[in-house]
Chain A
Amino acid sequence: MNMHDQTYTDLILRYLDGIMSENEKMQFEQMLESDEALQNAFQEHKRLFEALGEKDLLKIRAEIKDILEDRKLRKGSWIQNLLWNPWSAAALFCLLIFAGYFLYVNVSNDKPGEVPTIASDTVRFTTPDTIQQLFLGDNITEDSLVIPGSESLHETPALALDETNDPAFQIRGEYLELMGVAYRADYFHLTSPADSAIINMNDIIIFSWEPVNEAYVVDILDGQGNMVYSSDSMVNTPYNVKADFPCGAYIIRISEDDGPVFWSIFMVRNSP
């Protein structure tokens, strides 16, 4: 059961806002008496407003967040202090030299074609077909690489390393982090004739979303964050874009007045 049914939300907000005509208001109140789903939704809105009205509860969250941030900064300054002390800085320097040598000896002997297994700030695809949603506990194939966020509870795409090291398929880590917070993933959809996030070059990509009466700006960025396409203004759903971009990985950014609300990725490959 969906407590926040969109139709009800509109009605309830209009009712609470006092912008209904007398007739509409009467109809709403009659409906409220007889419609159980509306009663539930109305109750849910009331709970929401009550919860947000509890200022202390919001305040304690903000206070703790603030203190935790301070704590992190203090941890950072502890390292700074360490670096300013000449003896500890010298000790740290020696340690780094030793660690560097150790890594050089142990890691630099990769066989040709062997791929690294640790993500830094870029992640690459092995083949477009390896893209998938990853859930906690899923098996990860040997050649795949999971971005750090996916080790926790955040659902993020599992991306495999690129065998060819093609920079066009690299996506900057900061964008991948954003994918991890694409909390409205089931609210926006991307479809294409291939019916996946892997688009054949020159196919039409269809962006759609709910509710259908909302308009958004649709932007497409390359893996490094350079804009390659923009609808420029608010557009309605469904919105079509021709994938006449070079092969590579792309970022979709959907925004409203206050900024982006959804991030996702797709890849363009040569038509098979």
Chain B
Amino acid sequence: MHHYTESEIIRGLMDMDRGVIQYIVEEFFPSVSYYVINNRGREEDAEDIFQDAMVVILKRLKEGELNLHCSLKTYVYAICRNLWLKKVAWMHRRNLVHAGVTNEYLLEEDALNRPVKNEEMRILLYQRNFLKLSELCRKMIEFFLQGKSFTEISASLGIENPQKARKRKYRCLKRLVNLINHDPEYLRLIEDEYA
């Protein structure tokens, strides 16, 4: 496999270069997977966390907020670790306090210059719930956000008429809001923000 330098990786990430993304997965994911699995997670959890971390990194990159004081691999690992500990702390707060993991979590917040912010967590939660919708619903919402008319939407998605498309889109958005509203991590996020 071709070896990329840090600056090539960052450029490739900005350009969404498939080869670079593939390289990132091959090079960075195994250590994340090892960490998550050794901390009571599953391979699937590691995959989710890794995807989340890359979303956070790309967002920071695009907003000029990615100040690297270490290698990108260490940074990705630290973000994943941070996300995982945050998830663990949110989902099972009461158990973690007994297990003493909370201290580790707090230390981790200090160790990483830029822990994952609530605003970033929010985007991850929105995305994750959006992906739980059916493909039709996702398309419907995408078209709506692109400002397409209901006539266009109904034609593109093969829905009988614009009225039905509007009703359908409304149901999809409502379902998305409901999903988010009942996501335990979202509730924790809100709790944290309004504590």
Contact check, A64 vs B134: say whether CB atoms are below 8 A apart: no
Chain A residues near B133 (CB-CB < 8 A): 258
B92 within 8 A of A: yes
Once the chains are docked, how many angstroms separate the CA of A149 from the CA of B43? 11
Chain A residues near B45 (CB-CB < 8 A): 152-153
Chain A residues near B16 (CB-CB < 8 A): 56, 59-60, 63
Q: Of B22, B41, B137, which one neighbours A67 at CB under 8 angstroms?
A: B22
Q: Spot the interface stretch: B65-73, B95-103, B106-114.
A: B95-103
B155 within 8 A of A: no
On whether A184 and B182 interact (CB within 8 A), knowing A57-B55, A68-B25, the answer reads yes
Nearest B residue (CB) for A4: B181
Contact check, B123 vs A51: say whether CB atoms are below 8 A apart: yes
Q: How far is the CB of B158 from chain A (nearest CB, A)?
A: 15
Contact check, A17 vs B25: say whether CB atoms are below 8 A apart: no
Chain B residues near A152 (CB-CB < 8 A): 40-42, 44-45
Nearest A residue (CB) for B42: A152
Q: How far is the CB of A211 from chain B (nearest CB, A)?
A: 8
Contact check, B40 vs A136: say whether CB atoms are below 8 A apart: yes
Once the chains are docked, how many angstroms separate the CA of A3 from the CA of B187? 9
Once the chains are docked, how many angstroms separate the CA of A21 from the CA of B19? 52
Interface residues of B in 53-89 (CB under 8 A from A): 54-55, 58-59, 62, 87-88
Contact check, B54 vs A136: say whether CB atoms are below 8 A apart: no
Once the chains are docked, how many angstroms separate the CA of A64 from the CA of B18? 9
Once the chains are docked, how many angstroms separate the CA of A184 from the CA of B96? 23
Contact check, A47 vs B122: say whether CB atoms are below 8 A apart: yes
Contact check, B134 vs A258: say whether CB atoms are below 8 A apart: yes
Nearest A residue (CB) for B13: A60
Q: How far is the CB of A210 from chain B (nearest CB, A)?
A: 9
A87 within 8 A of B: no
Most chain A CB inside 10 Å of its own CB: which residue of B45, B47, B181: B181
A65 within 8 A of B: yes
A71 within 8 A of B: yes
Contact check, B122 vs A13: say whether CB atoms are below 8 A apart: no
Chain B: number of interface residues, binned into ranges: 35 or more
Nearest B residue (CB) for A5: B181
Once the chains are docked, how many angstroms separate the CA of A137 from the CA of B142? 40
Q: Of B47, B88, B98, which one neighbours A68 at CB under 8 angstroms?
A: B47
Q: Of A13, A48, A49, A60, which one neighbours B180 at CB under 8 angstroms?
A: A48
Contact check, A153 vs B88: say whether CB atoms are below 8 A apart: yes
On whether A187 and B145 interact (CB within 8 A), knowing A58-B127, A71-B25, A153-B91, the answer reads no
Most chain B CB inside 10 Å of its own CB: which residue of A47, A63, A65: A63
Chain A residues near B88 (CB-CB < 8 A): 136, 153
Chain B residues near A183 (CB-CB < 8 A): 132, 179, 182-184
Nearest A residue (CB) for B96: A137
Q: Of B26, B40, B54, B173, which one neighbours A13 at CB under 8 angstroms?
A: B173
Nearest B residue (CB) for A137: B95
Interface residues of B in 1-42 (CB under 8 A from A): 13, 16, 18, 21-22, 24-26, 29, 40-42
On whether A187 and B92 interact (CB within 8 A), knowing A60-B21, A152-B40, A153-B45, the answer reads no
Contact check, A1 vs B190: say whether CB atoms are below 8 A apart: yes
A163 within 8 A of B: no
Nearest A residue (CB) for B150: A17
Contact check, A151 vs B21: say whether CB atoms are below 8 A apart: no
Contact check, A68 vs B42: say whether CB atoms are below 8 A apart: no
B156 within 8 A of A: no
Given A52-B142, A68-B25, 11 other A-B residues pairs in contact with their CB atoms under 8 A: A1-B194, A4-B180, A9-B174, A10-B174, A56-B16, A60-B13, A60-B54, A64-B21, A184-B178, A256-B175, A258-B133
27 contacting pairs across A/B (C-beta < 8 A): A1-B194, A4-B178, A48-B126, A49-B145, A52-B126, A56-B58, A57-B55, A60-B13, A61-B51, A61-B127, A64-B21, A64-B54, A68-B29, A71-B26, A136-B88, A136-B92, A137-B95, A137-B99, A151-B40, A151-B42, A152-B41, A152-B42, A152-B45, A153-B41, A153-B88, A183-B183, A186-B182
